[in-house]
Chains A and B, each alone.
Chain A
């Protein structure tokens, strides 16, 4: 698969994101699959940030460590990122009088790298255009370097700024013409992109958070409560920003405990509600998780991972909270831990999270991470007719309600431990949603026999859930010699590597876990019995899925590729790491 990449760097607040986004959308419209990867620091102004686009006419969902075009808003990028440019690549910058030190100049020359200075200030002055149009100028220069026709860009600009009036649009168009002319006059050889595939043009270009927000809305969620914390904040922002369209109840809570409790109260009342947070906030929610376990309340909590401990690396990524999700909160109670991996399952798995929560009347934790939450995916529009709404043993029919007795609510003799649930405000025999150990009606009961009966009732749901969950997905050779095991955002880059020429034809596959707790191991053990090599790939220090696998079935995956530097696995990096497996 032919892939090219470009990276825009600059200080936060300079417009890095807007140039990245316009180029990303533009390339998609031109017929390319685009994967956008953003790096930034935990501050608002200043700080070095980057927006990288990896582009191909075929599907891709990963980034490389090197780029074909490096765009620098300021000299920091020139100083920090120059070595990331590929042989034959281009550096575009707007820093007047910039000269690379001689050693770097030699390296650039040896690597056939063209350095283009775009005098943004001078051009804008000549045009009598405001500084804000600098971004459009830079975008058009990049666009020309990508060998793209400016019609697509103009169309996008009209779409974005059309509402501001024709004068603004025309000013933007003039900027585009100037930027294009500058590159052409400078006779820089533009990049040759592989032939486009126009099927991408009608795809969406969106973040994992937006995908998850759409999935949450699609799944019938009517209330969202959150407290800002990167990288869960974009989810809160998206859902909150859409409240006038969705007419959902939105609450920015005063803390994460409030957020999880409000979600729980709303769920108890019978709506579908969700909350989202990151590791530190999730730590605060854990006592409430336990409460939902004992009152047998559906709960949906999104845990967007970033590297810890403590504040850690707030704007970077990791997969370090799997064992937290599995083990959080005191006492023993059933729970489901799911992880999304990209923009497709960030959408698909959310209605399922609500379904499982309703069916098993217990907490569901959905893991995502900063990489998924903030990366931009080229995504086929979702099928909005497919998702099911399954509410399990929720009784709303008046005839059935009339037959219910209080003692049905926590009846420990029911099949799979799943007793009927009915809602406050419905005409029926009432019950107590009791946080103390309770009898079938919810009355406090501290007897040993009741403690056993209720524990067994609740944990029977875990067994039923374990049986109901699908086995992990196997992608690649159905009978592989080399088996890779992964979960979460790592899946996309593994997928891209296995689709590369070098891996084509090899007996290799990856087993991807979406449902992580309870853990299914049957399929894994079957594959392991035939595979010659098994490799675990995770974005954490301990190999947390590996630990869970060993705990559940005794299999110890010794060969492990682990990463915990705050960065996702990059395509070329993982390609290099996996290549020795082929020999």
Chain B
């Protein structure tokens, strides 16, 4: 893991869930045998995004809410380089929610990790669309009038090919999830419930710890869509974690591009002056 180390000091709060996710991702990459130069990590804007220069790899730190299409474009240009996008619940389910819809349905060959702390941490604790409705937050002292967006139900309605949920306090499990996600054929959606000790006083580390359970160790079959959706959505008593759903039968967006199917090269390798003589003929 040393190769992924940088001298840049972390700037997250003590007890922030970002540390766990950061550590688990590095370990997953090492266990999969990737060198830092073989991968591209793309970060949205938010507390997690401040980790863009805290991991030694090819990284990218973009605009708020827009990490998915950038990462998708990168993955299509060179599908040989694993692309992982990270985004917070604020960016991913408000500003960039449209990208989420289309990334899932496009089934891009990439991984998305949701840093889900149910608030806008970096802008000092405003409510996100995943914040519980009656929870008073910065800028909403009476709680938000809007209903909370049921993110898992929403994601499952888009017919995803991979859904997992982890908890920032369980590095072992996150490593397993990330490794599986990175090897998934299409778009892997990974929701990591994370503690925000500064602004989320409800779903704290201890609270999450006492509510999560590993569905896979309880025998959940990730190929069962209906059951996966049920246990993902129903969080009344306990919160399911693990690989909730995976379908490897659906080709990725890239695989569905008919003109690319016979190509051995990537778009990155193909940049050269292209003879358009044949194309000009139809105009004569």
Enumerate chain A interface residues (CB-CB to B < 8 A): 202-206, 210, 214, 217-220, 222-223, 225, 242-251, 253-255, 257-259, 261-273, 287-288, 291, 295, 351, 379, 381-382, 384, 387-389, 391, 423-436, 438, 441-444
Contact = CB atoms under 8 A, between A and B. Distances in A.
Contacts of B6: 443
Q: Is the interface of B mostly helix, strand, loop or mixed?
A: mixed
B74 A247 contact: no
Report the contact-size class of chain B (Cβ under 8 Å from the partner): 35 or more
B284 A203 contact: yes
Given A264-B73, A384-B275, A247 B59 contact: no
A243 B259 contact: yes
Given A262-B73, A427-B37, A254 B102 contact: yes
Contact of B61 (A225, A258, A436): A436
A432 B59 CA distance: 5
B182 to A, nearest CB: 15
Given A269-B40, A271-B268, 19 more contacts: A217-B274, A220-B270, A220-B271, A220-B274, A223-B73, A223-B76, A245-B279, A248-B259, A254-B98, A258-B99, A262-B73, A263-B73, A265-B74, A268-B74, A270-B271, A382-B276, A424-B58, A430-B36, A443-B53
A300 to B, nearest CB: 12
Given A225-B73, A268-B70, A430 B37 contact: yes
B76 A251 contact: yes
A339 B6 CA distance: 44
Nearest to A347: B276
B283 A205 contact: yes
A423 B60 contact: no
A264 B8 CA distance: 26
Contacts of A265: 42, 69-75, 77
A352 to B, nearest CB: 12
Interface string B35-50: 1111110100100001
Contacts of B266: 271
Contact of B80 (A259, A425, A428, A442): A425
Contacts of A242: 279
A255 B58 contact: no
Nearest to B72: A262
Contacts, number: 214
B270 A432 contact: no
B217 interface: no
Given A203-B284, A263-B73, A255 B38 contact: no
Contact of B59 (A203, A219, A425, A430): A430
Given A261-B70, A430-B56, A217 B279 contact: yes
A305 B35 CA distance: 46
Interface string B257-283: 111101100111011111111111001
B263 A255 contact: no
A249 B268 contact: no
A110 B83 CA distance: 74
A128 B81 CA distance: 62
A117 to B, nearest CB: 35
A249 B37 contact: no
B284 A223 contact: no
Given A218-B274, A425-B78, A432-B53, A291 B280 contact: no
Contacts of B61: 432-436
B98 A288 contact: no
A425 B275 contact: no
B77 A266 contact: yes
B279 A269 contact: no
Contacts of B254: 249
Contacts of A430: 36-37, 56-59
B188 to A, nearest CB: 17
Contacts of A261: 62-63, 66, 69-70, 73
Nearest to A425: B81
Interface string B213-251: 000000000000000000000000000000000000000
A441 B270 CA distance: 28
B136 to A, nearest CB: 31
B273 A442 contact: no
Nearest to A215: B276
B52 interface: yes
Contact of B73 (A245, A273, A425): A273
Interface string B67-94: 0011111111110110000000000000
A247 B259 contact: yes
Nearest to A354: B271
B101 interface: yes
Contacts of B273: 218-220, 351, 384, 387-389
A423 B60 CA distance: 12
22 contacts: A204-B280, A204-B284, A205-B283, A206-B283, A218-B275, A218-B276, A222-B77, A222-B267, A242-B279, A243-B258, A243-B259, A248-B267, A251-B76, A261-B62, A262-B73, A266-B76, A269-B73, A271-B78, A271-B268, A424-B39, A432-B52, A436-B61
Interface string B131-150: 00000000000000000000
A389 B74 contact: no
B233 to A, nearest CB: 25
Contact of B267 (A203, A249, A257): A249
Contacts of B262: 247
A444 B280 contact: no
Interface centre among B39, B70, B258, B272 (most CB of A within 10 A): B70
A214 B62 contact: no
B37 A389 contact: no
A247 B66 CA distance: 27
Contact of A271 (B58, B270, B283): B270
Given A263-B73, A384-B276, A246 B259 contact: yes
A428 B271 contact: no
Contact of A426 (B8, B37, B59): B37
Contact of B45 (A246, A351, A428, A435): A435
Give 3 closest A-B pairs by Cβ, nearest first: A265-B73, A262-B73, A204-B283
A495 to B, nearest CB: 22
B69 A262 contact: yes
Contacts of A438: 53
Contact of A384 (B40, B263, B277, B283): B277
B50 A222 contact: no
Contacts of A206: 283
Contacts of A382: 276, 280
